Amino acid sequence: MTIKDTWEHAVADGALGCKKDMKSPKCFGANDIIFNVVLSGFFFYLYNELAFQFTAEVGPVTSSVMNTAKRVVVIVASAIVFQEQLDKNAMIGSGVAIVGVLLYSLAEEMGKKGKAKAH
């Protein structure tokens, strides 16, 4: 499916929603789609800008560990909010990630204490 086909399908779906009810949230046109794509791009740009600034402040390893922790928090919070059970692999993966972040934090703290004693 090409981008043009996808675009035409999306606009047709929006038009179909408008035929049923003009005030329906499923009623949208080309301008609504363009607006949402531009807004999504803008927020993705801001996310990347902040991610680069964060990485510059804390370093690439800490940034990577925190990004992993963020993903685990999002997965677990989503499961709680939407009342979905995590399968066995998801629970094991989340547990490993949480323990890994904890161990990294403890190791980093011990490294800071070791450097402070050396000076």
Two structure tokens written together for 100: 């890994």
How far apart CA 67 and CA 96 sit, in angstroms, is 14
Question: What is the structure's pLDDT at 105?
Answer: 81
- 2-32 burial code (b ≥16 CB/10 A, e <16): eeeeeeeeeeeebeebeeeeeeeeebbeeee
Break the chain into its structural domains and give their ranges.
1-58, 59-119
The count of other CB atoms within 10 Å of the CB of residue 65 is 19
Q: Which of 11-20, 27-36, 45-54 has the highest mean pLDDT?
A: 45-54
| Predicted confidence (pLDDT) per residue in 23-37, tens digit | 666 677 778 888 989
Closest CA to 34 of 13, 7, 55: 7
pTM flag (> 0.75): no
